[in-house]
Structure 1
Amino acid sequence: MTELAVWACGADACRTGGVAVTTPEHEASVDADAAVRPDGSMVVAHTRPERGATSATGLVRLSLTFCRAPDCGDPRTVTVTRRFPGDTIPRDVLLTPDGRAVVTVTLPKKRGLTVIACDTAACRDPHLATLGADLPLPPERVSVYPTADIAIRADGRPVVLYRETLEEGDGLLLDCLTPTCARHEWIRLPAASAMTVDRSGRVLVAGTPAGGDRLMLTTCRDARCVTSRLTPATWVRDDLAWSVAP
């Protein structure tokens, strides 16, 4: 048996919460990511081998577990799909303003991603959109796992920053035109390391171009983007984080 536990951290210390996920068999690892609502409830996206899967099939089950509180006293699990390839990893999970979970998953050395969007906060009927991506890179620059970071607009539409390399340089912005990403646009960015959405709904992406020495800021609204060069930033590479003032 394998258990995935939750830790709850305050200002001074952390304590063990409850067990969010329990598998009947012992697993070497459980790939997971989590998001927390303002009321302390949370959702955990996780994969584990599908029962009866062999090394030839290598299928995993991707599920969402919902906890009413950090102690996860009464978890509820929704199985999204039982047919993902065995090396699928949840890359990010966020919650929309109305409490719906949005999850991205990627595969190693394979371009594209899957966006999973719950229909409601209860996620009775999740929507899956498997999307290709055109970001040609030399093989030596492609990371083992592409990244797919999510931000959520106030109206619930996700945007995803997709990158195939952990180094500085190009990225793709997946602009979801609907809450489930059923309609979407890809936008290529010259420098993409970190993303956020401001209060007006603008998407802000920062990064340094491959081989460049300046921090660049791209601002996007309605699939139209403008890139500006900022201060010289020879010390900046992938270690960027965003914060937007209230």
Structure 2
Amino acid sequence: MVAVFDKPWEEVLKRLKEEFEYTDEKRYEGDEGNKEWFKFYDTRGFRLVEVGDIDYGMKTTREWGGRLIALASVEMYSRGSITLIQIEVWTSGFDFVQSSELMKFLKKLARTGAVLICGYVYGHEKLRDVFGDYNQFLLYERLAEIVRRKRLEVLPSDLTVIREDILGLEDGLYELVGEPGLYVFVRDLGVEGYKVLLTVGEGLLDDDLYREVLEYGDWFSSKITSLVFKPIGRKVENEPLLKRAEEFFQAQVGEYGR
């Protein structure tokens, strides 16, 4: 998971410690961090300034034993006026984390002042497909540009959190350009000034498929790490799908969807 801020890294670190139980592991001066971690990488101007851990429990689904994933590692990067943090959950990533638990985490992260929150899988072929290379710093660069320009025109991942002024779209359904039958569902996150974007398909209108979908409470854990980077198109009027999308969202996150 990646969160992008339009604040200096020192301020972001302070806010992170206020919202989470955060432990510093190592602070880097100058390009020490890049030399230690990314000697053979083109970091696109990003400088590693801090690594640490967040101690925050998230429950998994029954299929994964209902266990608690408690620790996540944090890498903090700085480039100009942009700060970016990468959060990697230990053991299995975000796999099988309950959608309601993930939503609580995203809300807390939004309260730290993140402008944009999305995700990806390290080394996944989708990085290469979108950016022509497996280098995750190409993704970071694109996300930083979105925040710098204060305009979101593409959907970064299947589940994305964005500050409302960057999005500039009202709630509803929008075309996902180049993906027939898929749409972007936009609604309030439940944190003032923030929206959540979620890909939904026309398959939700199939009652049998919809009932099958509702049997699983961890859909969002896979959507947050699924890169998309397709343009968001025009708003569409499809009341049955819009209603079903809202029902699906609420079924996944429960009280944390308000």
Q: Which has the higher contact order (CA 8 A, sep 6+)?
A: 2
Q: Larger % of helix: which?
A: 2
- Relative to the length of structure 2, the TM-score reads 0.28
Of Structure 1 and Structure 2, which has the larger fraction of its residues in strand?
1
What TM-score, normalized by structure 1, do the two folds share? Answer: 0.29
